[in-house]
Structure 1
Amino acid sequence: MTEHEKFHVRIKVRHYELDTLGHLNHAVYHSYGEVARLERMERAGLLSSGMRELKLAAVLLESHIVFRRELRAGDEVDVTCDVKFGSGKTFHMDSNITKADGTLAAEITCTLGLMDLERRKLVDDPRGRLEQAGMDMDVLLGA
């Protein structure tokens, strides 16, 4: 990924992911978004960061999808992941699923939090806590 290239993951729609109408099952769209979120976090150092030592984990709190176009077996899609932090205990990781020809197939918006695994509560300042754990924020945010 170059500095000007938008983060994305390429996924091929598999036959076993289809519903009875012959297009991608609605739940699989969410799975594709999860693939992009985890890939972005892994590239930013999730697996090598101190999250485990700090007993922190990202948790999905809300996911919303808008279906724009159907996807069928054999289609290849690019799934983006944009990360946005604000104030408070939550942050957003949003995705677009786009066909190879550029057609927008779905938009996914997700709200996440960072959970203290001992207290089972969301922590304040998730961005600061991710930085503290050693995540590469430039990679995570696409800076």
Structure 2
Amino acid sequence: MTDREPFRTRIKVRHYELDTLGHLNHAVYHSYGEVARLELFEAAGGLEGFMKAKLAAVLLETHVVFRRELRAGDVVDVTCEVKFGSGKTFKMDSNVIKVDGTLAAEISCTLGLMDLERRKLVADPRVRFEAAGSDLKRLSPAE
């Protein structure tokens, strides 16, 4: 493990994202996680390499733990980092943090890389990310 910080992207909570209680709708947390994942993939490079290789990241499972409510106008940083393991899947974890440092939610996801022609997950996603030109250190502070 290193002391490097995970990737962050900033998002402002919009009025139309609120539920009837006046706080951020539960489903929107998943959207914030998706924004952070896509921004991280873009920042790490390799998206063009994935298109050429006919690969795409697919979300297999997602889980949110809600810690503090978010309301309209709140500004949050959404972190995102990849954790590679063995097999065909990998983890992407995010924290939704108010700009005052308050942890609002934790999001954990399991993903895989799909071969878009075969419609099957490929083995060893870490190697495929690297082959596509992704910066592994940007994706994962542990690299």
Q: Which TM-score tier does this pair reach, normalised by the shorter chain?
A: over 0.9
CA 1:56–1:26 in structure 2 vs 1: closer, same or farther (change >3 Å)? Answer: same
Equivalent-residue separation in structure 2 for 1:82 and 1:22 (angstroms)? 30
Q: What's the TM-score, normalizing by structure 2?
A: 0.93
- Contact kept in structure 1, 2:91 and 2:109, CA below 8 Å: yes
Unaligned residue ranges in structure 1 (runs of 5+): none
How big is the shift at 1:74? Answer: 0.5
Equivalent-residue separation in structure 1 for 2:8 and 2:132 (angstroms)? 24
- SS of the residue 1:10 aligns to: strand
After superposition, the CA RMSD in angstroms is 1.3
Equivalent-residue separation in structure 2 for 1:136 and 1:107 (angstroms)? 24
For 1:20, give the aligned amino acid.
T
- Percent of pairs with identical residues: 76
- SS of the residue 1:88 aligns to: coil
Unaligned residue ranges in structure 2 (runs of 5+): none
Range that drifts further, 19-28 or 133-142: 133-142
- Contact kept in structure 1, 2:60 and 2:112, CA below 8 Å: yes
Runs (4+) of structure 1 exceeding 6 A deviation are none
Equivalent-residue separation in structure 2 for 1:46 and 1:72 (angstroms)? 35
Residues 86-135 of structure 1, C-alpha deviation per residue, up to 9 Å, x if partnerless? 00000011100011111111000000000011110000000101111111
In structure 2, the residue matched to 1:135 is 134
In structure 2, the residue matched to 1:25 is 25
Number of aligned pairs? Answer: 140
How big is the shift at 1:31? Answer: 0.5
Equivalent-residue separation in structure 2 for 1:108 and 1:30 (angstroms)? 8
How big is the shift at 1:41? Answer: 0.6
Equivalent-residue separation in structure 1 for 2:6 and 2:131 (angstroms)? 26
- SS of the residue 2:49 aligns to: coil
Equivalent-residue separation in structure 2 for 1:13 and 1:139 (angstroms)? 26
Q: What's the TM-score, normalizing by structure 1?
A: 0.93
